[in-house]
Amino acid sequence: MNAAKVDKIVSEVLVGNKRYIARAISMLENESSQAAEIIKGLYPHCGRAHVIGITGPPGAGKSTMVGALVNQFRQSDKKCGIILIDPSSPFTGGAILGDRIRMPEHTTDKGVFIRSMGTRGSLGGLALATRDTVKVLDAAGYDLIIIETVGIGQAETDIVQTADTVVVVSVPGLGDHIQTLKAGVMEIADIFAVNKADTDGASKTVRELKLMIELSNYPAAERPPVIPVSSLKNEGIDKLAGSILELHSQALESGRFEKRRKEQLAIELNEIIRWQLIKRINSKISQHELDVSINELYLHQITPHETAHNILKSLLKGDE
Amino acid sequence: MEKIRILIAKPGLDGHDRGAKVVARALRDAGMEVIYTGLRQTPEQIVEAAIQEDVDFIGLSCLSGAHNNLFPRVINLLKEQNAADIKVFGGGVIPQSDIPFLKESGIVEIFGPGTSTEVTVSFIKQLYDERS
């Protein structure tokens, strides 16, 4: 029965049935026992979409920008899959997913699919199931997949491991040029968009970002452009959209796309192995054994590294 | 792990969403994922968003008096889209005398002014458990 169900889901996703796309994403989010089979069915059909990441601080206007960009992309009839991520409560696991509110006009567009996700404990700016959701939308035939991260601070950089093109959204008034020199988010941009460019201080923000880029040692061809935008007034959006598509075709030509995708796959593989190992270890160690080990650690009789080594050793022996 | 997903929407033309926000917040605090789509939504937009978000419930808030029109329209669109498994509840300013008609048309419950959010939360949790 399960096999038939997975087959049905896969075939309906492949023809773009939104009800099944939505259901497949839920099953991946919920870590359903059929998740791996669904991915297996979809994976051969993946790899065509251009994945775009939009990241930046809360209130920078990311959602409004996504809405405006989709308007622009739809004019050239590109199908858009949108993943909007908001934080889950660390206390209750609940979430208010409120990014759709900025793009109501796209809800009933046949060429657009919008999905909101809670982070469910993930800390890097994305939801745990983001990568697999990209696979579903890719297989379903969306040309562009736009991921909006949670509102971020300085260190949430997971988007660079998932997107082909990362747009870091900045706004005037968030600090002086020292902020632009810091490591982390400032390093992951393929493009800087300065939103709310119709407000005071925008030209200063643009100038400071450009100065930072000059001081960095980007290869000349990879210097991120800095594009002033007003998403609300739809100014500069055409330029931003054009720049996103152009950078992608350059990356395809230069081999940068393939290099980055391979780096991302190495990270993804590593994470899956780690995740599965941890699940297996947890299923094999009894709570009692764990309690004994933790007590030994507490009494400083053994180091955490030695304990981990011993657990792994006995686990690998058990597999032989 | 499964989570209850709910779309909270305001169909029609009234501009007051304080009640909808209070309910959304209470559902969030009860551990649910709440998709809030904001003011002035058409029934078509609400149903399409509910399908893409794969929600278990839709909560409709209406203060304009057009509930007898808008709520059954949402139910009918869900049926047309083969999505009648998504259950719809309502709230807002709705006269007692309209409630039997709304329930008959498929709304599972109406929560009027003064309803404690705990009542809404436990109603939803119970309905969810019965379904699964």
Task: Give me the mean pLDDT over the A184-201 stretch.
Answer: 91
B124 touches B31 (CB < 8 A) = no
Contact B44 A25 (CB under 8 A): no
- What is the pLDDT at residue A51? 98
A236 touches A192 (CB < 8 A) = no
Contact A104 B48 (CB under 8 A): no
Burial A250-267 (b: 16+ CB within 10 A, else e): ebeeeebbeebeeebeee
Mutate to test the interface with A, among B54, B55, B58, B125 (most CBs of A within 10 A): B54
CA–CA gap between residue A97 and residue A153 (Å, rounded):
19
Contacts of A22 in chain B (CB under 8 A): 51-54
Does the pLDDT of residue A39 top 90, yes or no? yes
Contact B44 A108 (CB under 8 A): yes
The one-letter amino acid at B78: L
Contacts of B35 in chain A (CB under 8 A): 97-98, 100, 116
Which residue does chain B place closest to A95, by CA atoms? B33
Tens of pLDDT, residues B29-45:
999 999 999 889 999 99
A172 touches A205 (CB < 8 A) = yes
What topology is assigned to A46-254 in CATH?
A: Rossmann fold (3.40.50)
Q: DSSP per residue over A290-313, as a string?
A: HHHHHHHHHTTSS-HHHHHHHHHH
Interface of A with B (CB under 8 A): 18-19, 21-23, 25-26, 30-31, 88-89, 92-98, 100-101, 104, 107-108, 113-116, 118, 120
Contact B3 A115 (CB under 8 A): no
Contact B34 A94 (CB under 8 A): yes
* Residue whose entry in the numeric block shows the structure tokens 């919008």: A114
Mutate to test the interface with A, among B1, B34, B86 (most CBs of A within 10 A): B34
Does the pLDDT of residue A256 top 60, yes or no? yes
Residue pairs between chains A and B whose CB atoms are closer than 8 Å: 85
Where do you find CATH 3.40.50.300 in chain A?
46-254
Element (H, E) at A192: strand A191-194
B73 touches B44 (CB < 8 A) = no
- What is the pLDDT at residue A215? 85
Expressed as residue numbers, the domain containing B26 is 5-131
Q: How far from A74 is each of A71, A144, A239, B70, CA to CA, in Å?
A: 5, 10, 15, 30
- What is the pLDDT at residue A2? 45
A31 touches A127 (CB < 8 A) = no
- What is the pLDDT at residue B131? 79
- Do you know the residue count of chain A? 320
CA–CA gap between residue B120 and residue B131 (Å, rounded):
17
Strands B5-9 and B33-36, sheet pairing: parallel
Of B24, B49, B81, the CB nearest to A96: B24
Alpha helices in A76-192 (DSSP H): 130-139, 178-181
> For the packed helices B67-80 and B43-52, what is the interaxial angle rounded to 10 degrees?
40
Task: Give me the mean pLDDT over the A222-242 stretch.
Answer: 95
CA–CA gap between residue B15 and residue B26 (Å, rounded):
21
Q: How many domains does chain B have?
A: 1
| Residue B117's CATH number | 3.40.50.280
- The answer to whether B2 faces chain A, any CB pair under 8 Å, is yes
Other Cβ atoms within 10 Å of A123 Cβ, number: 12
- Average confidence score pLDDT of chain A: 91
- What is the pLDDT at residue A286? 84
Tens of pLDDT, residues B33-90:
999 998 899 999 999 999 999 999 999 999 988 999 999 999 999 999 999 999 999 9
